[in-house]
């Protein structure tokens, strides 16, 4: 079974080699509407798995060929935390990773299992998905395995964020007509405030989904980003549906917009017309706006906003 893929170049996470912990077929405790894999019955445990030895042999060979990477990413055709030898695997990777960081991409459900919870604390980076926080919406979007309870899952995510010392990322994927409502966003906002995430990526469906559901537009994602509190490190991660409706912003509007929600150069490219881009450049020259780096991404922010934060 082929367990290593990549290197993958990602704007958000840099260059990584991926480890597929379920190379034979999809094995997941969710059956998300938006999954880019085919629909499949949910499972609680993996039935077919590669051994730790197989994975480490493949990884060593891949690292010999591609040593210039940032991360080794644990992922799967399904959910990587269902891999039964995760603790042993992470400790074996730590022995050979040198300056690379370990990262896992998980749907968060297994954090309610104390053993998995403690195992994930050993990773350098963790990305937790959290698409919804109310039972009804969670069940509709993520279609979890029987017995997975969203309230317990949320509390486990909050506790993990308090104990974890590595880089924590949260990802929310929006599906039209489900978790994009005002009510769900207010509730998500409350939970996100309790987390110590380095970055919160919000996105939508960019690839053909498992079920007939629709993503939302880039403009709608921008509007959702504005509904979250300005203090949250929100990043708009999907640009696949970006419609180029550029607008004109005065200097004051640029400062106010960036004060409310820092934007990346890619956001500015989509949202600002040519004159507004020139105004932004002027504000940078006048040192009213500066560029900061947050978890590998660059954002424009008002200098005053940064000074306020530094004083806190
Ligand atoms: S958690 Fe990931 S792999 Fe599992 S169904 Fe959802 S999107 Fe697919």
Reduced to 3 states (helix: H, G, I; strand: E, B; else coil), residue 19 is: strand
Confidence of residue 133 (pLDDT cuts 50, 70, 90): very high
Residue 117 has a pLDDT of 98
Residue ranges lining ligand 1, Cβ < 6 Å? 28, 30-32, 35, 37, 78-79, 107
Reported pTM:
0.87
- Could you tell me the distance, in angstroms and rounded to a whole number, from the CA of residue 20 to the centre of ligand 1? 13
CA atoms within 13 A on the CB side of 62: 24
- Could you tell me the distance, in angstroms and rounded to a whole number, from the CA of residue 232 to the centre of ligand 1? 25
Q: Say whether pLDDT at 238 is over 90.
A: no
Query: Exposed, middle or buried by CB within 10 Å (0-12, 13-18, 19+), for 57?
Result: middle
282 contacts: CB under 8 Å, gap ≥ 6? 251
Question: Of 25, 42, 40, whose CA–CA distance to 211 is shortest?
Answer: 40
Question: What tokens were used for 176?
Answer: 């039209």
Residue 233 has a pLDDT of 93
Instruction: Tell me the sheet residues that pair with 297.
Output: 294
Tens digit of each residue's pLDDT (9 = 90 or more) over 119-132 = 999 999 999 999 99
| Percentage of residues in the chain having pLDDT higher than 90 | 70
Residue 309 has a pLDDT of 55
Q: Which of 18, 27, 37, 175 for a ligand 1 pocket mutation test, highest count of atoms within 8 Å of Cβ? A: 37
- Could you tell me the distance, in angstroms and rounded to a whole number, from the CA of residue 30 to the centre of ligand 1? 6
Q: Which of 40, 106, 107 for a ligand 1 pocket mutation test, highest count of atoms within 8 Å of Cβ? A: 107
Distance in angstroms (rounded) separating the CA atoms of residues 236 and 221: 7
Confidence of residue 113 (pLDDT cuts 50, 70, 90): very high
Confidence of residue 164 (pLDDT cuts 50, 70, 90): very high
Atom of ligand 1 nearest to the CA of 77: 3
Tens digit of each residue's pLDDT (9 = 90 or more) over 177-196 = 999 999 999 999 999 999 99
Topology of the domain covering 4-243: TIM Barrel (3.20.20)
Tens digit of each residue's pLDDT (9 = 90 or more) over 19-39 = 999 988 999 999 999 998 889
Distance in angstroms (rounded) separating the CA atoms of residues 106 and 75: 7
- Could you tell me the distance, in angstroms and rounded to a whole number, from the CA of residue 298 to the centre of ligand 1? 29
Q: Which residue do the tokens 């960036």 mark?
A: 258
Alpha helices by DSSP H, listed for the chain, are 52-65, 86-96, 114-120, 135-142, 150-163, 182-193, 218-227, 251-260, 265-271, 274-285, 303-311
Average pLDDT, the chain: 91
Q: Which of 29, 44, 46, 78 for a ligand 1 pocket mutation test, highest count of atoms within 8 Å of Cβ? A: 78
Protein residue with least CA distance to atom 8, ligand 1: 35
Residue 267 has a pLDDT of 83
Q: How much is the average pLDDT of 219-232?
A: 92
Atom of ligand 1 nearest to the CA of 40: 5
CATH number for region 247-312:
1.10.10
Protein residue with least CA distance to atom 2, ligand 1: 78
Confidence of residue 306 (pLDDT cuts 50, 70, 90): low
The full set of domain ranges for the chain reads: 4-243, 247-312
- Could you tell me the distance, in angstroms and rounded to a whole number, from the CA of residue 142 to the centre of ligand 1? 8
Confidence of residue 170 (pLDDT cuts 50, 70, 90): very high
Structural contact between residues 265 and 302, judged by C-beta atoms closer than 8 angstroms:
no
Protein residue with least CA distance to atom 5, ligand 1: 31
Q: Which of 21, 32, 34 for a ligand 1 pocket mutation test, highest count of atoms within 8 Å of Cβ? A: 32
Q: Say whether pLDDT at 105 is over 90.
A: yes
């Amino acid at each position: 079974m082929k367990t290593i893929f990549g290197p993958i170049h990602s704007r958000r996470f840099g260059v990584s080699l991926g480890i597929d912990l379920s190379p034979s077929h999809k094995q997941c405790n969710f059956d998300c509407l938006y999954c880019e894999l085919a629909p499949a019955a949910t499972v609680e445990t993996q039935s077919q798995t590669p051994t730790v030895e197989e994975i480490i042999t493949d990884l060593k060979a891949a690292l010999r060929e591609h040593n210039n990477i940032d991360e080794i990413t644990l992922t799967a055709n399904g959910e990587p935390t269902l891999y039964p030898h995760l603790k042993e695997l992470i400790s074996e990777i730590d022995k050979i990773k040198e300056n690379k960081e370990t990262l896992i991409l998980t749907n968060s459900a297994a954090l309610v299992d104390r053993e998995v919870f403690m195992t994930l604390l050993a990773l350098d980076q963790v990305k937790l998905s959290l698409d919804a926080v109310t039972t009804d919406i969670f069940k509709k979007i993520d279609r979890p395995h029987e017995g997975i309870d969203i309230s317990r899952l949320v509390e486990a995510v909050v506790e993990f964020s308090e104990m974890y010392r590595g880089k924590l990322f949260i990802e929310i994927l929006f599906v039209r007509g489900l978790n994009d409502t005002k009510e769900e966003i207010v509730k998500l906002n409350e939970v996100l405030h309790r987390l110590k995430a380095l970055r919160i990526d919000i996105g939508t469906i960019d690839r053909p989904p498992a079920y007939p559901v629709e993503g939302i537009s880039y403009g709608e994602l921008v509007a959702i980003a504005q509904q979250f509190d300005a203090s949250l490190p929100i990043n708009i991660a999907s640009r696949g549906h970006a419609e180029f409706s550029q607008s004109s912003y005065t200097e004051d509007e640029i400062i106010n917009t960036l004060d409310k929600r820092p934007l990346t150069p890619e956001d500015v490219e989509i949202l600002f017309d040519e004159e507004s881009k020139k105004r932004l450049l002027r504000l940078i020259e006048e040192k009213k706006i500066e560029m900061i780096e947050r978890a590998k991404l660059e954002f424009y922010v008002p200098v005053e906003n940064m000074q306020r934060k530094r004083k806190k």
